[in-house]
Every structure is written in C-alpha cells, then in structure tokens.
Amino acid sequence: MDYQLIWVLLIAVAVFAYVTLDGFDLGIGILFPFIKNPKNRGRMMNTVAPVWDGNETWLILGGGGLYAAFPQAYSLLMTAFYIPVFTMLLALVFRGVAFEFRFKSKNHQKHWDFAFSAGSIIAAAMQGAMLGGFIEGIAVENGRFVGGAFDWLSPFSVFCATAVVVGYALLGTGWLIMKMEGDFQGNLRRLAKPAVIWMAANLGVVSLMTTYVNPAYAQRWFELPNMLYLAPIPLVTVGLLYWLWHAVKKREKTVFGITLGIFFLSYLGFGITLYPNIVPPMITFRDAAAPENSLAFMLVGAAILLPIILGYTAYAYWVFRGKTGDEGYH
C-alpha cells in the first residue's frame, strides 16, 4: 500500500460515512411532506438533533480531504459541478439552521419545516445529480475543465438524483422505525413499503444504465473472469432487498441495518466501476495526488485522530440510544 492508495481509500470511507450518516438525517427531511402532525415532526427532528452536526462533518472531511490529498481532482470537480455544489450548499444552509430555528418560533414553524424539508430534498437531489455527472465523466483538456456549466445535467443524472432521494428516505425511515414507537411507527412501516420497491427499481435501472455510459464500465463488469468475481455484489443486493421487504413489516432494527448493507454494496459497485479514476474518464487518483510528504503528514494525524473520532462519535450515539421522546433543550 502506498500513500496515494491509502488516501483514496480514506476519502472513499469518509464519503461513505457521510452518505450513510447524513443520508438518514437528510432522509428525515425528505419524509416531512408525508408526516403532517407537527408533534411527530418535532420527534423526528429530535432523533437526529444531537448527532446531525457530527454527521455533516464527514462532508467537510470528504471535501477537505480531497482538497488536501488530490488538489487537482478537487479543483476540477468543483469547477465542473459549480451549480449543483452551490445549490447543495445553500440547501444545507437552510436545512442546518432549521434545526435550531424550528423550535425557536411557533409562528414560523411551518416555514422552517418547509425549509428543512426542501433543503433536505434539494441537497440529496444535487448529490445524486453529481453522482450521475461524475459517472458520465468530466470534460478535461490539459488539466483544465473545458465543459459547460450544465454538463452534469442529463437524463441519467436526473435518474441518479431521484435514486439518492429515495435511498435517503428509506435510510431515514429505517432510522425512525428504530427510534419511534406505537402508531407512528406503524405509519412509518407503511411508508417504507413503496420506498423499498422504488429503490429496488432505481438500483436496477441505474446499474444497467451505468454500463451503457462507458464501454469500459461494461467491460469491467461483463468480461470473464471479472463477471464471476463480481457477481456476488448484485446477487447479495437482490437478497438484501428481498429480506428488507419482509423486515419492513415486523422488525425494528434490521430495516436500518439492511438498508445500510444495500448502500454499502451499491457504493462498492460504484467504486469498482470507476477505479482507478478520480476524475472520470481520464484522470486517475495517482495523477491528481498531492506531494508525498503532504500525504504522509496527514496520514499521521488521520491514523491517530480517526480512531478517537470514531470512539467518541460512537459514544455520542450510545448516549442517545433507545427511543426518542419529546425531550429537547429548547
């Protein structure tokens, strides 16, 4: 293992941590339109109020890590995704302050509920659109972005956007089934069913479309012997979807767990498709890497601090384990 490989894996882990952690708390905002009762909405927010800040920090680590370890990739991707990045950031601004503001004002609670929900949906959709645009590739010549401001927008990226929104909604539902009780939990279970079907359909279509985007992607998956080695990924995913469909009706904790598993396999598949490119279709992570000594210097910090971070993050989740009531500090 060399520094460049370690860092591309670390950033991949940070992005995955972001996707799953902020995924479920964005999911709560995505579910808001389906839950009308203000009290239940308050409960939903209370389940993530103590942890959302930490969840979102992984987004800064993903972006900051990319800047530090692969500056050329950071610069190119941010330029190519100028519009979706800013739209996502502004959506996250609204959504982030809504956590505090919602409880501060009874008169404007509806407005902040709307800001929270719209912010969550738009942020998730922009992340999905960027995922699509990323898979389709970035126009680069001589190390400079030469595409247009709307290159990221295509039927494929729109489809990816809906896939991410639905996926996050399902993660959020799984989380809430764990944290809620009684009638409200029953409502959530009913909401989860169509989401499972929708996600299964999305996964199938996005996976197949991906192999049409670029012949190299199709080659990676469908050429022998790769096909045999990689076959477990889609097969296990199908198995998990089947299990999820049955768990939704009766299980409390497995729904969230299985959804995480499906996210992990999808992410793994995405990584396998693109490796070793960090700015598809041409630039590899090795081309875009920062100087060796920068990578080494950061690795010292990451090796010491990441285990500590994981430790106290786990502790924070443990402190707030169990069912969430109406408690807050507001």
Chain contacts with other proteins (rule: CB under 8 A): 49-51, 53-54, 56-57, 59-61, 63-72, 74-79, 82-83, 85-86, 89-90, 92-94, 96-97, 99-101, 104-105, 108, 144-145, 149, 290-291, 293-294, 297-298, 301-302, 305-306, 309, 312-313, 316, 319-320, 327-330
CB of 119 to other proteins, least distance (A): 10
Nearer to other proteins, 117 or 210 (CB): 117
Nearer to other proteins, 68 or 272 (CB): 68
The token pair that represents 81 in the structure block: 């995704």
Half-sphere exposure of 304 (CA within 13 A, CB side): 5
CB of 262 to other proteins, least distance (A): 27
CB of 207 to other proteins, least distance (A): 29
CB of 81 to other proteins, least distance (A): 8
Nearer to other proteins, 21 or 240 (CB): 21
d(C-alpha 285, C-alpha 276), whole Å: 6
Nearer to other proteins, 66 or 258 (CB): 66
Separation in Å, CA 97 to CA 48, 90, 154, 276: 14, 11, 31, 38
d(C-alpha 217, C-alpha 78), whole Å: 24
Nearer to other proteins, 76 or 248 (CB): 76
Nearer to other proteins, 25 or 136 (CB): 25
Task: Please state, as a whole number, how many other Cβ atoms lie within 10 Å of the Cβ of residue 322.
Answer: 9
CB of 219 to other proteins, least distance (A): 31
CB of 200 to other proteins, least distance (A): 32
CB of 186 to other proteins, least distance (A): 26
Nearer to other proteins, 198 or 320 (CB): 320
Nearer to other proteins, 82 or 267 (CB): 82
Nearer to other proteins, 71 or 234 (CB): 71
CB of 152 to other proteins, least distance (A): 13
Buried-exposed string 121-156: b where 16+ CB fall within 10 A, e elsewhere: bbbbbbbbbbbbbbbbbbebeeeebebeeebbbeeb
d(C-alpha 49, C-alpha 42), whole Å: 10
CB of 48 to other proteins, least distance (A): 9
